[in-house]
Chain A
Amino acid sequence: MPFISKTQRQSDYSLFPSSCPIVIDNGASYFRLGWAGETDPRIIFRNIVQRPRLKTTGETVTIVGDHDPALMKYFDCTRSGPRSAFESNVVFQFEIMEYILDFGFDRLGADQAEIDHPVLITECACNPVQSRSKMAELLFESYGVPSVAFGVDAVFSYKYNQQLGVCDKDGLVVCSGFSTSHAIPFVNGEPVYEACCRTNVGGYHVTDYLKQLLSLKYPHHMSRLTWEKVEDLKMEHCYVALDYASEARLFQKGTKEADEKTMCWQLPWTPSPTEELPSEEDIARKAALREKQGQRLREMAEAKRTSRINELENECKGLEFLLQQLKHVKDSDIPSFLSETGYISKQEIEAALVKVTQSLRKAKGEQADTEEKTDPSLTEKYSMVDIPDNMLTPEQLKEKRKQVFLKTTSEARQRAKQKRFEEELERERQNKQDEEKRLENPELYREQLRTKYRELSEKVEQRKRLKTNGHTNGNNNGTGGVGRGERLNAAQKERMRLLTTAAFDRGKGEDTFGIRDEDWQLYKLMSKDNDDDDEGPDEDEAELGRMSARLKEIDPTFVPKLESGSSSAELPRLRPLTKEDFQIVLGVERFRCPEILFNPNLIGIDQAGLDEMVGVSMRRLPTRGQSVDERITNSILMTGGSCLFPGMAERLEAGIRMIRPCGTPIRVVRASDPILDAWRGAAAYAAAMEFPQQTFTRMDYYEKGEDWLRGYQMRYTI
């Protein structure tokens, strides 16, 4: 693993004299901090900041770098993800940068009133002066740094390797970093920025491309494909193909070699227990349980009923007693006697009594006889109905209207009852027919019933699905169903569609709306009342219920479909999930993703790739002579995290050979440590005696101003 964080707090800060510079390699992916003259940085962490809330107190806290993910459970990170101070490879967010520097200096053990050491910090080639001055300002103002120097990471890496003898004083560095790649030529040990070039492609793009490809290939495992995991996959498995096309052809043909190159990441998977049918015992137990629950409910209902009957009986008795007592009371005394009870007259008490007895009867379950009783008295009850209006007094007229109303309602009730009875008869007849058919040919009958049931259930299901999610694929609107449209059911959606089309069809050619009568039907469809037609259980569902009951009777193997959530529960059950469903296979992706470094076109970036960049850089060199060119191509150094892919050097060499004239000596070497060499080079540089001349102080900065800072460039050969 090339990237390992080191965030142990250092204890020897006070041992370093204030002349000892602090060296910072401020890369877009990793931040490295240490002392000049040492071989390794003391502190290394990912150059990111998170500002989550503490779950316990809700307080916003700052977390710099990457930490043990197990500890992150105490924080609520939903509001803010990890943020970087970089855009491309330029620092622009200095608030985040300050948090990062805070953390870095804190871990280095700084404990005095200010950072009393010169600071050498890396930046990208040709850093905009705004970013440079903000960084200097931050270091001077917030930390009290006495002097600052800026250098380019790729150049430090080259210089370090030059010292090691890996490359010569004339040469070229190809640095493929996190968000950009650079090619910088060297003449006489000094970088020639006029000839350098930058492509905005780096390790970030490779990881992102891999992540996108995998999550498109395995949409079910999207949650597992976190940035960190994909980064690991990239570092472990990706390689650069010498020739993309031929390598891809290998995979297309499915050769043995390709199979060997295919990697497979097995996600944790436990075979789901083979589904067993519930045993007899289970069924019995469940039935018993259900029976018990039913019993309890029935008991509860019974208890409630008896208590109500008791209550009513008591009330009844009380009222009767009151009436009895009233018999002994003089008529004139009745109001005063009744004032305590809350009733006003004897009639009212009687009415109450009648009401109570009626509800008592109802509670006892003998409600039927009231209706029966009304039957004989029908004629005298509605005595006035047949008498013409003109023969009645106004009072009688009122009475008559009441009677007419009562009569019609009771007749309607009667009719409904009749209809119910007839339906019952019809059903019985049907059942009998069914039974006959069954007896004739039980097998055929059962088969028929089953197919009918299937058809019907499908129909019902289809309708339900339509009602809940409308058209099965949202292909026509393209947006993938975001926003409000998703929550409407089919009918509502249709209505929305009608409304919008009606609004937008205006002005498209001739307006012929209304010429045909059917046009006006549109308003009916648009009206809001239109979509409440799905109230109540519909016919098909009732029929379905009947059929399933019947099937249950005659077919012991029949299992009715689950009522709710059947569609969601059934889909995955179509095929038991296997081990293969939890595998993430890396085939072509292994070399497809790093390929973007050589062909940024693949991700839509129209710039030269790494190999071409070398050519561009050579063309841009101002002082040219064949010997210089040859010396340069003879010492090409690869550095930066994205140079770690296997096969990189070979591919780069092949690519450069295509561009350069025939017979040019070409030597491509990898830096001794593509990741840490930039820091090491900087640390060695800062330890040199002449380093202080390359730095500038706060006074210099404020006296000379921004224009000077724009031209500031350090000499690397000292």
Chain B
Amino acid sequence: MMIRLGSWLMNIRATTIHIFVNRAKVSSSGSDKMEQEVIEAEIVLPTHLSFKKVQMYEKYPKGQSRGRHWKHLKQIIQAENYQNYPPDEPNYVNIESPPSMHPCKRICDITGFEAPYVDPRTNLRYANTDMFKFIRSLPNEYVQRYLALRNAAVVLK
């Protein structure tokens, strides 16, 4: 009944306050249908929280571009325009470590032992003949997954 009344109110251009009251009621009626166990554990975040000045449903109204696009780290860094600042000023990009100076450790992709050999067909590193037999018997999907572990898989774009 409350729900119907509320939506009717909405239809006749009720004030925003009315809508919020209505929404809060809807959510509480929804929780009535929840299992007792779930309610007791309180694992579901309430939609209305008294300590907030702006509620979630006001900020991100239902149905309105739910998955709002947030800038990814790459975009954030680009937007920061670090190139415009003096290079000796520390920033997120220039504090990154340089490439390692140590010789690259080559380990068998399958076993983790030291790997003196590389299979030219699959590009997998291997430790001994047994492993060579094993990698030759591997289906291509697995070869690619092993290669992906060290970011060396063939990526088709």
Q: A112-B50, A129-B80, A248-B107 are in contact. Are A604 and B34 (CB under 8 A)?
A: no
Cα distance A305–B78 in the bound complex, in angstroms: 85
Chain B residues near A252: list those with CB within 8 A.
Answer: 111, 113-114, 127
Number of A-B contacts (CB under 8 A): 201
A558: shortest Cβ distance to chain B, in Å?
36
Q: Does A164 interact with chain B (Cβ within 8 Å)?
A: no
A551 CA to B47 CA in the complex, in Å? 73
- Judged by a CB distance under 8 angstroms, whether A357 is at the interface is no
Cα A223 to Cα B57 with chains together (Å) = 36
B window 57-106: CB within 8 A of A: 59-60, 68, 70-73, 76-77, 79-80, 88-92, 95-102, 104-105
| Binary interface encoding of chain A residues 586-612 relative to chain B, with 1 for a CB under 8 A from any of its CBs, else 0 | 001100100000011111111111001
Provide the residues of chain B in CB contact with A142, threshold 8 Å: 52-54, 59
Q: Indicate whether A38 reaches chain B with its CB closer than 8 angstroms.
A: no
Partner of B95, one of A63, A126, A209, A601: A126
Q: Is the CB of A111 within 8 A of B51?
A: yes
Which residues in B have their C-beta under 8 angstroms from that of A502?
none
CA of A74 to CA of B39, assembled, Å: 11
B76's partner among A111, A128, A600 (CB-CB below 8 A) is: A128
- The answer to whether the Cβ of A144 comes within 8 Å of any Cβ in the partner chain is yes
Give Cα A124 to B104, complex, Å.
29
Cβ of A81 within 8 Å of any chain B Cβ, yes or no, is no
Q: Which residues of B contact A57 (CB under 8 A)?
A: 30, 33
What interface size band does chain A fall in?
35 or more
Looking at the complex, which one of A68, A94, A143, A480 makes contact with B141 (CB distance below 8 Å)? A480
Q: Which residues of A contact B38 (CB under 8 A)?
A: 71, 74
Q: In the assembly, what is the distance between CA of A194 and CA of B91, in Å?
A: 8
A67 close to B43 (CB less than 8 A): yes
SS class, residues of chain B in contact with chain A: loop
Q: Which residues of B contact A377 (CB under 8 A)?
A: none
| Stretch from B2-10, B16-24, B146-154 that touches the partner | B146-154
Distance from B137 Cβ to chain A, minimum over Cβ atoms (Å):
10
With an 8 A cutoff between CB atoms, is A270 at the interface? no
Q: Does A193 contact B (CB under 8 A)?
A: yes
Shortest CB-to-CB span from B61 to chain A, Å, is 12
Q: Are A602 and B76 in contact (CB under 8 A)?
A: no
Complexed CA–CA distance, A390 and B60 (Å):
94
Asked if residues A92 and B97 are in contact (CB atoms below 8 Å), the reply is: no
Which A residues touch B30, using CB under 8 A? 54, 57, 59
Give the distance to chain A from B26, nearest Cβ to Cβ, in Å. Answer: 9
Does B44 count as interface, using CB distance less than 8 angstroms? yes
Question: Does any Cβ of A come within 8 Å of B46's Cβ?
Answer: yes
Assess whether B1 is interfacial by the CB under 8 Å rule. no
Question: Bound complex: CA of A148 vs CA of B39, how far in Å?
Answer: 34
Judge whether A600 and B51 touch: CB under 8 Å: no
The contact string, 1 if C-beta is below 8 Å from chain B, for chain A 189-201, is: 0000110111110
List, in ascending order, chain B residues with CB within 8 A of A197's CB.
Answer: 95-97
Give A39-83 as 1s and 0s: 1 = Cβ < 8 Å from B's Cβ atoms. 000000000000000101101011110011001001000000000
Is B49 in contact with chain A by the CB < 8 A criterion?
Answer: yes
Q: A111-B51, A216-B146 are in contact. List 11 more A-B contacts (CB 8 A).
A: A61-B44, A110-B50, A112-B50, A193-B90, A194-B89, A478-B144, A480-B139, A480-B141, A612-B101, A612-B102, A613-B97
- 12 inter-chain pairs at a CB distance below 8 angstroms, sorted by A residue, are A56-B33, A71-B38, A106-B45, A126-B95, A141-B54, A194-B89, A216-B142, A474-B139, A599-B105, A601-B104, A601-B105, A607-B96
